[in-house]
């Protein structure tokens, strides 16, 4: 088992079988003689829906149990990541105690973590539990960092009291400023609510309100190579202009792809990215 997981790890992070799909073969051959940039390894976990009571269950799933199992699998198979991005819906009860338990569970990984909120989150409690990630006293909970040849940006689509999300004009301006700083730097954008429909009726109705402005900005920003979201508790791949738009399974409950609300029995999951002169991404599920 350990051997299989090690092989999976090597193939996923470093394997020559996963050359990025955003390069043409000409570009690849041109770059064959140029030293490849250092790979950046990013893991995304999303929609943990944790409770202050570690035995609480959501739709039949013990959310702490599956979350801890996901962290253990990441540790075994992808523990050498550079960044762990948590893309919202972290606390179903939105309680400070729950975020403090999350902080404890992340342990030494915290300095490699970045967090954005979902609809099931509370900004004030997140600020209190993770002051080093959110030094500002108010405003959206965003992040932007440069690493290797890449920039990682996280948007805050939380709309208090609502299930749907919104990225307001101020945040769009902030995003535009971030993109202006390095117009040629490849960018990976994270946001809880997907900025496009995933063709699942009930989820598309509670998506990102006013997504058109964000979509326009993405389409005008070719340096954005991919957008990565949560919220829909299932894997999906779409396209916005030149960028791919991915969603990622929850670490807890999975939703089905039917028009009406449904659940899916797929195992909890997470997503990895390997970023270099292109990128490779893959969804992983909890091993049996
Ligand atoms: Fe969620």
- Please tell me the predicted confidence (pLDDT) of residue 133: 97
Measure 192 CA to ligand 1 centroid, in angstroms.
9
- Please tell me the predicted confidence (pLDDT) of residue 33: 55
Measure 30 CA to ligand 1 centroid, in angstroms.
43
Q: Which residues of 259-273 are buried (b: 16+ CB within 10 A; e: fewer)?
A: eeeeeeebebbbbbb
Please choose, from the candidates 183, 175, 200, the residue with its C-alpha nearest in 3D space to the C-alpha of residue 116. Answer: 175
Within 13 Å of residue 270, how many CA atoms lie on the same side as its CB? Answer: 28
Question: CA dist 129 to 122, 157, 210, 216, Å?
Answer: 11, 19, 30, 34
What is 40-285's CATH number?
Answer: 3.60.21.10
Low-confidence ranges of the chain (pLDDT < 70): 1-37, 288
Name the strand (E) or helix (H) holding 128: helix 123-129
- Please tell me the predicted confidence (pLDDT) of residue 196: 97
Measure 275 CA to ligand 1 centroid, in angstroms.
26
Measure 201 CA to ligand 1 centroid, in angstroms.
16
Measure 14 CA to ligand 1 centroid, in angstroms.
31
Total-model pTM:
0.89
Measure 120 CA to ligand 1 centroid, in angstroms.
7
- Please tell me the predicted confidence (pLDDT) of residue 22: 36
Measure 27 CA to ligand 1 centroid, in angstroms.
39
Q: Which residues of 66-77 are buried (b: 16+ CB within 10 A; e: fewer)?
A: bbebbbebbeeb
- Please tell me the predicted confidence (pLDDT) of residue 150: 96
Domain boundaries, the chain: 40-285
pLDDT one-digit tens code per residue, 33-63: 555 568 999 999 999 999 999 999 999 999 9
Coil, helix or strand at residue 176: helix
Measure 10 CA to ligand 1 centroid, in angstroms.
30
In angstroms, the CA 37 to CA 278 distance is 10
- Please tell me the predicted confidence (pLDDT) of residue 260: 85
């Amino acid at each position: 088992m350990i051997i299989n997981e090690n092989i999976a790890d090597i193939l996923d992070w470093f394997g020559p079988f996963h050359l990025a799909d955003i390069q043409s073969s000409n570009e690849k051959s041109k770059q064959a003689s140029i030293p490849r940039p250092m790979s950046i390894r990013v893991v995304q976990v999303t929609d943990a829906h944790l409770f202050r009571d570690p035995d609480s269950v959501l739709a039949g799933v013990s959310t702490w149990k599956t979350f801890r199992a996901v962290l253990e699998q990441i540790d075994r198979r992808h523990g050498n990541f550079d960044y762990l991005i948590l893309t919202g819906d972290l606390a179903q009860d939105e309680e400070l105690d729950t975020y403090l338990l999350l902080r404890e569970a992340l342990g030494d990984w915290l300095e490699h973590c970045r967090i954005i909120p979902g609809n099931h989150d509370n900004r004030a409690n997140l600020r209190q539990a993770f002051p080093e990630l959110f030094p500002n006293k108010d405003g959206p909970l965003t992040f932007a960092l440069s690493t290797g040849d890449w920039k990682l940006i996280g948007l805050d689509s939380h709309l208090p009291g609502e299930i749907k999300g919104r990225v307001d004009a101020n945040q769009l301006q902030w995003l535009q400023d971030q993109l202006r700083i390095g117009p040629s730097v490849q960018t990976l954008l994270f946001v809880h609510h997907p900025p496009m429909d995933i063709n699942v009726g009930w989820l598309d109705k509670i998506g990102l309100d006013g997504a058109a402005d964000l979509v326009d900005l993405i389409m005008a920003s070719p340096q954005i190579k991919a957008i990565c979201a949560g919220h829909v508790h299932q894997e999906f791949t779409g396209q916005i202009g030149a960028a791919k738009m991915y969603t990622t399974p929850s670490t807890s409950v999975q939703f089905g792809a039917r028009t009406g609300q449904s659940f899916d029995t797929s195992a909890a999951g997470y997503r990895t990215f390997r970023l270099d002169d292109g990128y490779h991404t893959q969804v992983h599920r909890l091993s049996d």
